[in-house]
Structure 1
Amino acid sequence: MMRQHTRLLGWLLAVPAIVLFCLLGHWQLQRMTEKQALLDAAAAAAQQALSLAEALQAPGPVHGVADRGRFLPGAVLLDNQMRHGRAGVKVYRPFRAESGALLLVDLGWRALPPDRQLPRLPPAPPPGAVRGLLAPPPAAGLALGPALTATAQPGQWLASRYAAPELAAVLGVGTLPDRVLRLDPTLPIGDERDLDLLPNTLPPQRHLGYAVQWFGLALAVLVVALLLEVRHRRRRAGRAAGG
């Protein structure tokens, strides 16, 4: 009877573990597919040159943009942005195209000193041409604490995450899309930047590797459970034959 209870307990532990490992593997495959789709869209977008209004209306997460307009007052510093192994902020300013389309433009990254003294920003770039990639904003992660904090500089806000409604409210621009313009790094405005859509995160290949590991763990637990079950049945058959 004791062995029967141990066998039952073993299966009660093995089955949830197998299901959990399979779910984790499936989630990693989903992340791989999502990120690969984003990279594929970025490659196709590099051949595009849509106006901002056209890009905001077009299906898909990423589009190439070339347009003209002007930057509006106000600036947002997105906190906790890593580059070259250093912590810093990304600088965003609202931009309105000549067509009236509006969004935040990523003007690049600035390092923060150890005391986290926020940088004093230069004036907004003059009206003119912009180009780059219309893409999703940086991932928010865990939404802990307020999304925005006022800084000592008038019209400048420190953001812990990209929250379009709150940003639009403090900047006084009505509404903002849940996408930003990643400015072409060759343009002579802003700070250090690139068009990497997956910074500080795992590439699709790593997600595939983790998925294989999780599915491998599920298979290992299943094999061990089956081997123990086969051994148990052989023992029982042997006892029955001996009796």
Structure 2
Amino acid sequence: MKPALRRALLWVVALGLCLAFVRAGLWQSGRAAEKEALLGDSARVLAERQPKPLADALAAMPAWVAVEGAFEAIPALRLDNQRRGPQVGVQVYRAFRLDDGPRLWVDIGWRPLPADRRVPDEAPMPAAPMRLEGLLVPPPSAGLALGPAASVLPDGGRLALRLEPAVLREAGEALDGAVLRLDPATALGHERDLDLLANTLSPDKHRGYALQWFGFAAGLLLLSLFLQFRRRP
């Protein structure tokens, strides 16, 4: 291969890698901005705690809602690999039938897993009609889709690695674009809070990764220029 052609091919490869690095950095920067906006919106909503009608809340999540209905006798849905400090556990979701018809998955809190990772059974929820308040949000980000999204547990419930729409539907036909993060003041369920970025990267982490990708692009470009223009003996 002629030297000129070889250099041209190396430049194509180098510029392609630089472009990929820049795109990764831009994606990380975009995620940082999205999460900052989400945190700002949720802080405002939590400060006001003014319930919105469900239809309006679905169009403007995160939103504070108050819903009336009753829990259904459907096995619990658990989201795996949820951390609190050094402990790993599951986030537990229960099906709540609204008075006006739709079913909504309610996040009733986090439970630690024992050393053998056996998922604890869930006690039945109260069957009486009740009013619930909490933060209506999209389901947790699915992340990388590696392997099956969910498996069936001995009690008939599902253990999910990610809350894809299909998982929410299969666990119990319900609104698949939203879950209710139950108000921690409600005397139901398990340990919980309203932190929207638990088990995910913070905006600062995303910015740090963005700088790394931009640094890779700049370093590769500078190295390519150095190799191109260095004096040969």
**Same-fold status (TM-score > 0.5):** yes
Runs of 4+ in 1 over 6 A off after TM superposition: none
1:104 Cα deviation from its structure 2 partner:
0.2
1:170 Cα deviation from its structure 2 partner:
4.4
1:180 Cα deviation from its structure 2 partner:
0.4
User: Compared with structure 1, are the counterparts of its residues 29 and 152 closer, same or farther at alpha carbon in structure 2 (3 Å cutoff)?
Assistant: same
In 1: Cα distance, 2:71 partner to 2:54 partner: 16
**Normalised by the size of structure 1, how large is the TM-score?**
0.81
1:93 Cα deviation from its structure 2 partner:
0.7
Q: Tell me which residue corresponds to 2:35.
A: 35
Deviations 1:52-109 (A, max 9, x none): 523444x233111123321111121222222222221111111123333431000001
> Given that residues 160 and 167 in structure 2 are in contact (C-alpha distance below 8 angstroms), is that contact kept between their aligned partners in structure 1?
no
- Identity, in percent, stands at 42
> Given that residues 18 and 218 in structure 1 are in contact (C-alpha distance below 8 angstroms), is that contact kept between their aligned partners in structure 2?
yes
> Given that residues 105 and 174 in structure 2 are in contact (C-alpha distance below 8 angstroms), is that contact kept between their aligned partners in structure 1?
no
SS of equivalent to 2:100: coil
> Given that residues 91 and 109 in structure 2 are in contact (C-alpha distance below 8 angstroms), is that contact kept between their aligned partners in structure 1?
yes
Uncovered stretches (5+) of structure 1, i.e. residues with no partner: 236-243
SS of equivalent to 1:221: helix
User: Compared with structure 1, are the counterparts of its residues 49 and 70 closer, same or farther at alpha carbon in structure 2 (3 Å cutoff)?
Assistant: farther
Is 2:137 the counterpart of 1:118? no
1:34 Cα deviation from its structure 2 partner:
2.0
> Given that residues 76 and 91 in structure 1 are in contact (C-alpha distance below 8 angstroms), is that contact kept between their aligned partners in structure 2?
yes
Q: Tell me which residue corresponds to 1:239.
A: none
In 1: Cα distance, 2:223 partner to 2:170 partner: 58
**Normalised by the size of structure 2, how large is the TM-score?**
0.84
User: Compared with structure 1, are the counterparts of its residues 82 and 133 closer, same or farther at alpha carbon in structure 2 (3 Å cutoff)?
Assistant: same
User: Compared with structure 1, are the counterparts of its residues 14 and 146 closer, same or farther at alpha carbon in structure 2 (3 Å cutoff)?
Assistant: closer
Deviations 1:166-200 (A, max 9, x none): 443443xx442321001111211110111111112
1:220 Cα deviation from its structure 2 partner:
2.3
